[in-house]
Structure 1
Amino acid sequence: MSYQLALERRKALKSKLRNRERVFGGWVSYPDPGITETFAKAGFDFIAIDMEHTTISLAEARQIITSCHAEGVTCLPRPVSHNNDIIKPLLEAGADGMIIQMVETAEEVRRLIDITKFPPNGKRSYGVNRAHGYGFDFDDYITDWNDSSSLILQVESIKGVDNIDSLVAFDEVDGVMVGPYDISGSLGVPGQTNHPLVREAARKVVEACARAGKSVCTQIANVTPEAVDDAFAQGYTYVILGSDLFVLTNWARQTAAVVNQFRKA
């Protein structure tokens, strides 16, 4: 994908997020780039890489980013931590932005902006790698990056929920992703993502994002038109549809049921 096309795709995603338009994301948890290439055929606005709950390495993430770009899709990794040692290599590898897990305070947001944005917005250092076309696109990249890249915060604890207004007060924040599993754990009802306390916490985030003009997202494990419609009805403006892990797990469960049925026959 040429630099100009990559820039257009980044800008298109950011514009949709900024305008609270409907956005559809994919999610990969396995390192094989063939899975990413297959998912990219589905017409997603972006594909996220889960590096928090998987063993995907930086080298494998670079291959996934490259596969996304080869198919003309933007790529937003979710690194395992807020550490610049993880985030910087992903940016240099050509990531189009970041989804940052477990953000709870305004101070954390400020540090994340410093890591992900060039001066004057942040303090990202200048270098040359794949993101810059190995030098061929350096000037354009460093000029365009701040206004084209996307920064998405995951709010997935009650502390983050309580601080949501301060988290979304930063102009550099393009969207929020609600993490119901971790919210349920922080509320003492782990795994009960439909518990009234969890739904109320999510509602607070959705309403705060609406007030601030920020996009807000949830992930749908079992993708059906009814589930997507319900998410939008709750006020979410974009959704992440399943994941490769969920797809394979659901297939394995269905296949196991068939196998067991014939074993008992």
Structure 2
Amino acid sequence: MSDTRLNNVIRAFENGKTAFAAFSKLDKQTAIEMSDAPYDGLIFEMEHNPYDVTAFGDALQYMLNRKEIATSGSLAPKVTPIARIPANGVEMNQTFAKQVLDRGAYGVIWPHVATVEQAYNAVASCRYARPKNAPLYEPKGARGDGPANAARYWGLSMAEYYEKADVWPLAPQGEILVGLMCESVQAIENLDDILSNVPGIGLILIGEGDLSQELGFPRQYEHPEVLDAMRKIVETCHKHNVVVGNPHVTAKNHRRLISEGYRFLMSAPQRTYGVVGMARELAGY
């Protein structure tokens, strides 16, 4: 079992497919309900909702389904849990990433990342330290060592966890997805430099809400200026072969998003399964 890919979002990306996800409230009942949802991943929202790492740990446990584990032959949850943390790029706060990873998260979404330095910190915060002569040394790991809970949640020994607890795609065997939110004009201007100079970024997620605010068209996601800004993000990500995602997938825009090359689609609200079904059918699976 330890050789099986544990992160379903990464599995979709490696297979050239689109990954589907949703934001989720941080409570046990939602975790239970979402444990068999038709998503590859579930992002627990702790940027705009309260940050409660104890509740997060409980939610992860409620996502485990013993029957599903026995049937699938994989120790991983059917829906991969990821956390959006409150710390943004400017704050450089590594503690939030460390705490959710130590509880067993398979990825971290970092809001408001706009510079190379901020992007470097985000990736480094999700990696353990290693000797300078070790392969894949950069970005230099800054995650503190406390793997016991995460290893148990992943169903691995500590040695196995250390092997897999690195960032993908920098480390091919890595199971941790680092997603950076691009949600400002500054971020768009610096995105090419970010993707050129910071390895280990698995996903760029467009923050349409904040971006549209800064452009002067709050939540007008179909406004030409907002669409043009998003197009620039998509083009830059495609240039660097980095997955780009959209957090506001609806019945009206899912065809356009897939045709434009988005490969991480988040439906809102969290239980709009019909939209996911339509998008999967359109994508051919």
CA distance in 1, matches of 2:240, 2:99: 31
CA distance in 1, matches of 2:203, 2:162: 22
Using the TM superposition, name which of 160-169 and 197-206 deviates more: 160-169
Q: 1:19 to 1:132 in 2, by over 3 A?
A: same
One-letter identity of the residue aligned with 1:49: F
- Runs (4 or more) in structure 1 with deviation over 4 Å come to none
- 1:72 paired with 2:69, answer no
What is the CA deviation profile of residues 51-94 of structure 1, one whole-angstrom value per residue up to 9, with x for unaligned ones? Answer: 11112411112222223344432111000014222111101000
Identify the residue that residue 279 of structure 2 maps to in structure 1: none
Say which of 261, 264, 270 aligns to 1:235.
Answer: 261
Equivalent positions of 1:1-265 (< 5 A) are: 4=2, 8-10=5-7, 12-17=8-13, 20-28=16-24, 30-70=25-65, 71-82=77-88, 83-118=93-128, 119=130, 120-121=137-138, 122-133=141-152, 137-146=157-166, 147-169=174-196, 170-220=198-248, 223-224=250-251, 226-244=252-270
CA distance in 1, matches of 2:21, 2:156: 30
Residue identity (%): 22
Larger RCO (alpha carbons 8 Å, 6+ apart): 1
**Contact 1:18/1:215 (8 A) holds in 2:** no
**Long gaps (5+) in structure 2:** 66-76, 131-136, 167-173, 273-285
CA distance in 2, matches of 1:37, 1:172: 31
Q: 1:200 to 1:136 in 2, by over 3 A?
A: closer
SS in 2 for 1:36: helix
**Long gaps (5+) in structure 1:** 248-265
> TM-score, structure 1 length as denominator?
0.82
Q: 1:168 to 1:19 in 2, by over 3 A?
A: farther
SS in 2 for 1:207: helix
Larger Rg: 1
